[in-house]
Amino acid sequence: MHWFAAKSIIVSFPRWRPLTLLLRRLSARRFNALPLPLRQGERINSFKAERGRIVRGATKATRRSKESKYLIEEEDNSHIMWWKEKMQTCKKPSSIQLVKRLNYSNLLGLDVSLKNGSLKEGTLNMELLQFKSKFPREVLLCRVGDFYEAVGFDACILVEHAGLNPFGGLWSDSIPRAGCPVMNLRQTLVDLTRNGFSVCIVEEIQGPTQARTRKSRFISGHAHPGSPYVFGLAGVDHDVDFPEPMPVVGISRSAKGYCMISVLETMKTFSVEDGLTEEAIVTKLRTCCYHYLFLHMSLRHNSSGTSRWGEFGEGGLLWGECNGKRFEWFDGTPVNELLYKVRELYGIDQEATFRNVTVSSEKRPRPLYLGTATQIGAIPTEGIPSLLKVLLPSNCFGLPVLYIRDLLLNPPPYVIASAIQSTCKLMSNITCPVPEFTCISAAKLVKLLESKEANHIEFRRIKNVVDEISHMYGSSELSAILQMLLDPTWVATGLKIECKTLVKECELISHRIGEIVSLDGEKDHEISSFPNIPEDFFEDMESSWKGRVKRVHAEKAFAEVERAAEALSKAVTEDLLPIILRVKAVMSPLGGPKGEISYAREHEAVWFKGKRFAPSVWSGSHGEEQIKLLKPATDSKGRKVGEEWFTTSKVEDALNRYHEACAKAKAEVLELLRGLSAELQTEINVLVFSSMLLVIARALFLHVSEGRRRKWVFPTLVEFSKSSIEMSEIRSIITGASPRSLVLMDEICRGTEMAKGTCIAGSIVEILDHIGCLGIISTHLHGIFDLPLTRKNAVYKAMGTESADGHTKPTWKLIDGICRESLAFETALKEGIPEAIIRRAEELYHSINGRACSENDMKNGNLSPPDSGVNGFDEASDSLRRTSNGFTHVSDTLNPIEILQKEVENAVIIVCQRKLIDLYKKRSLSELAEVTCVMVRAREQPPPSTIGASSVYVLFRPDKKLYVGQTDDLVGRVRAHRSKEGMENATCLYVVVPGKSVASELETLLINQLPRQGFRLTNKADGKHRNFGTSNLSLESLTVHQ
């Protein structure tokens, strides 16, 4: 046996290799390699398996002499078996046929006996094998010309999960090969990552190469589930969707309970949550989309691991969750070992550090149990409505939704919850416009800046983020919200930044981006344009780099492009235009000469395209000299393009000069953008903190807006119980109440005698006030308001009502004050009690309370408006007079748009104030409201307080025309207007008015009056379809805009 082994070695390797060296290498392999477990029918090549094939003849052995690295290395065993398991899951017939051609002897799965399966040094396969050895469990896509190709295991995965067809068909004698065009790379990566695969992308260095030489290649990046491929994004005009990053999760167990470790490779962060129950850990696993799952050996019942883990008793719920899913066991110190695994999986340097973002959980409530989270709809469950769809608008998605869901599943500490609650209260009451709250994924920021692939679009978004932080700090109403959001952001990011430091750094970042990046509205980047060259040519050549950075930073490159474009235009005019003029001058029937200067998009060239233009007899006429200069157009490889394409040497020289100038300008632009990315890497913590703060702000803003839109009408409890049951329930509430409790009581002490029940209710109010809990107590025991209660925090609220069509109806809103009335008569009449009984009840009621019917007094005119109303009328008149006197004095420093906005604002104030005064005089309004116009500018939105409140608004269009409307949901209406093309940055002003009918009157009045003052409206005809706003209001004093 030893003789045959030696003979095989001599035949298998080059004859100049020393025999002793070969024997020593063989001996090392024999004693160091671990045997790979084989199954029946498995094709795994070993040295003995190859022996029979080698000794069949020297010729065949010589042909395979350089297939030197297709034997299994010890560390490759587990990876090959991992791929084998993936191959066994293939179900498509096409991918099953490819799997049959695999050979499990190397990391690529190539059978060297098949066509294109060579693993010789210098071949593409060997180069791919070297890349594969660095990331053995990632799908390898290699750029080859206009395609990204994959072989072996990776080709099978492409066919199975990306819907691609194999190269060479199904019945080929070649190795499995598949690929996608360059333009389809993004979609292919999405398909692969969606199915849980990581992808390693290998690019080839573009540019001319010598004949018969292979292009150099390099690993340009990776795509993981939750972390897309970003190479080349700095030079494109589009964005890439960044899904929520998927962590690597490790679970262990200690004396405190279960522990969950989450590691984010993109963010280089990890967090540790310990002391969890088994239900809590299962809930987290079910709501977390993780990339890899590792289970620590501490989960086993004993150190030897002989028992069947978790199948019975303790750990059974976790075992049921993990069973059927792929996971790996790990041992050692949980955090350190898991970080080592992450570095190994993602090819990260072992010296790279990960930041601990764990927030202390000592005072944090326990996470929701799985059953609770399912039943309340926090986890999507069939048959149970989603709670998130109630808490947020239906069109809300992305980062705000994820934040609210995390709050529900993992309640924050009391201090943080209190800050969030206070923020919601403030947001509900502010009257100033609020920012758009630009939401950017923190993982996206980190990956783009670290890879230096942030483009101009992303830098503008980053500037929006930091500008909105500065805007909030500079607003008297929003600065308090900014301050309150600092602690919730700290919990979400693990970063602690003081408010002033945050604002200062944001201003510096905004200033630096503004210095480099070209912002919207700047007009120093016009595309070149010349009359004799198609506009599409210059648009395609220059739009990929113009408009990204300020021209001052690349002035020489930009100027050279302009000179090159002018030279190209001159060359085309001199060499090609005379031919065009000659062709046009020849008038002939069908079959005459044709010619034009055309843009060959595929070749990025401007050439002459024509036929039958050469004269049959050369007479020295106009254009003949230029025709003689023409030569066939060729592509970049020197091949003739076609029979109809022509150019001249002068045009080609000018075209090459223009291309070189554009390439140099584009390179300088990319260098500036990547340099800015490098600068901002030092501010990455500030950007992560700012982006998360705005995500939280937007989530709470949407929650408050939806709450106001729904008016939060809660169901009324109608269950009746005896007094003893009620007292027992109250005893439980008082015993368990704390300052962190929320107590809700409806119709307190309703089951006993009124006088004593009133006193018991008052005593309960005192004890709850002393405890300091939050709560609402509703009652019809009006005598409680006359009791001498000792209270510090309790306040009285009443249910608001409104009069509609002569009937009193509840508004379902709480207002300040005491209400001793009720809607008992209205409710009884509505439920069918005879009207005679209701009238008698009213007589008895008034006889007891000694009151006259206020409604009849109002009808007979016996009641007059209070004195305060008259004073209010005089103050309103003075305010209106002051507005009118100062109206025509518009600052000369304002631009035309600002002047128009100011004039419209003053006109709206005058028209609306006069109408409200007129309505007040007619007693159509209970009190006189002063008109206050609020301007909502670009990248701002109305506050939540406008939702559910009637308002009249004027929208400023880009064509300087106005649109007048009224709504009860200004936030939604402005969003709808801005969703139309060209209206993204539209400005509007609005006035909140008392009631929808008043809003309709003012809307029609403004539609009728503003055009008479010289303003142009787009919906002027709407004023003819209203019955409101037709009062004969004097207009002499209103004609202020000529």
d(CA 1022, CA 1015): 15
Q: How far apart are the first and last CA of the chain?
A: 110
Token readout for 787 is 């009791």
d(CA 408, CA 391): 11
What phi, psi does 803 have (nearest 5°)?
A: -100, 125
Provide the pLDDT for residue 1032. 40
Sheet-wide strand order for 355-356: 328-330, 292-296, 248-254, 257-264, 269-276, 355-356
Residue type, 538: F
Q: How many CA atoms lie within 13 A of 701 on its CB side?
A: 28
Neighbour count for residue 1028 (Cβ, 10 Å): 16
Provide the pLDDT for residue 36. 35
Provide the pLDDT for residue 852. 40
Partners of 147 in the β-ladder:
144, 181
Provide the pLDDT for residue 1022. 63
DSSP 320-342: HHHTTS--EEE-SSHHHHHHHHH
Q: Tell me the pTM.
A: 0.72
Residue type, 415: V
Residue type, 378: A
Q: What is the largest CA-CA distance in the chain?
A: 128
Which residues, including other chains, have CB under 8 Å from residue 272's CB and lie 6 or more apart? 259, 260, 261, 335, 356, 358
Provide the pLDDT for residue 982. 85
Provide the pLDDT for residue 894. 66
In order of 142, 309, 531, 629, 809, the CA distances from 323 in angstroms are: 36, 11, 70, 77, 58
| Residue showing tokens 């086993």 | 300
d(CA 716, CA 134): 65
Provide the pLDDT for residue 838. 73
448, 676 in Cβ contact below 8 A?
Answer: no
In order of 446, 658, 736, 740, 871, the CA distances from 730 in angstroms are: 53, 85, 10, 17, 49
Nearest to 998 by CA among 905, 934, 916, 928: 916
Residue 221: helix, strand or coil by DSSP?
strand
Token readout for 681 is 């890497």
In order of 400, 433, 472, 700, 918, the CA distances from 481 in angstroms are: 17, 13, 8, 11, 39
| 10-residue stretch averages of pLDDT, the chain, 1042 residues long | 33 36 36 35 38 38 43 75 91 91 91 89 90 92 92 94 84 86 91 91 74 77 88 83 87 87 92 87 86 88 48 69 85 92 87 86 76 85 86 89 91 88 89 92 91 92 95 93 95 92 96 90 78 92 91 92 94 90 72 83 91 77 83 87 90 94 94 95 95 96 89 44 68 81 81 77 84 84 80 81 71 77 73 76 69 40 39 43 42 73 90 83 69 89 90 91 91 90 89 88 89 85 51 38 36
